[in-house]
Amino acid sequence: MGKLKDLWNGENRGFVRYAVIATGLVLVWVAFFSDDSILRWAKARLELRQQNRQIEWYKREIAAMDEQVRTLSTDRDTLEEYARENFHFAEPGDDVYIERQD
C-alpha cells in the first residue's frame, strides 16, 4: 500500500492521477455506454438463457404432440373419444349436451 501512496503523492503525481482518472473513465464507458458494453452482454446472456428454456419447452410440447398424433392415428377408440370431446362429434342417435359458457 505504501508504494501506491508514494506514486499518488510522488513527483509524477500529475501523470499518475491522470492515468487513474482516464482508466476509470474508460472502464465506465466500456461498462455502460459503448455499443459492446458489459450491460449489453448481461442482457444478451439473460435473453439467451430465456430462449434456451423456451426451446426446451417447445421440444417437450412437440414430443407430447407427436405422441398424441401417434396414439390418435393407431387407436380408433382414442380418435373417436378425442373427436367427441374436442369437436363435439356425435354418432346419429346420440344425445348431445353442450354447456353454455357465459
Instruction: State the Cα–Cα distance between residues 82 and 72, nearest whole angstrom.
Output: 8
Residue located via cell numbers 382414442: 78
Helical H segments across the chain, by residue range: 2-9, 13-28, 38-74, 76-87
Q: Cα dist. 18→2, 64, 65, 82, 89 in Å?
A: 20, 63, 65, 76, 81
Provide the mean pLDDT of the chain. Answer: 86
- Mean pLDDT, range 52-78, rounded to an integer: 94
- Mean pLDDT, range 69-96, rounded to an integer: 84
Task: Give pLDDT tens digits for 4-35.
Answer: 777 777 777 788 888 889 999 998 888 888 77
**pTM: predicted TM-score of the whole model, two decimal places:** 0.54
Instruction: State the Cα–Cα distance between residues 89 and 98, nearest whole angstrom.
Output: 11
Model confidence at 1, in pLDDT bands (50, 70, 90)?
A: low
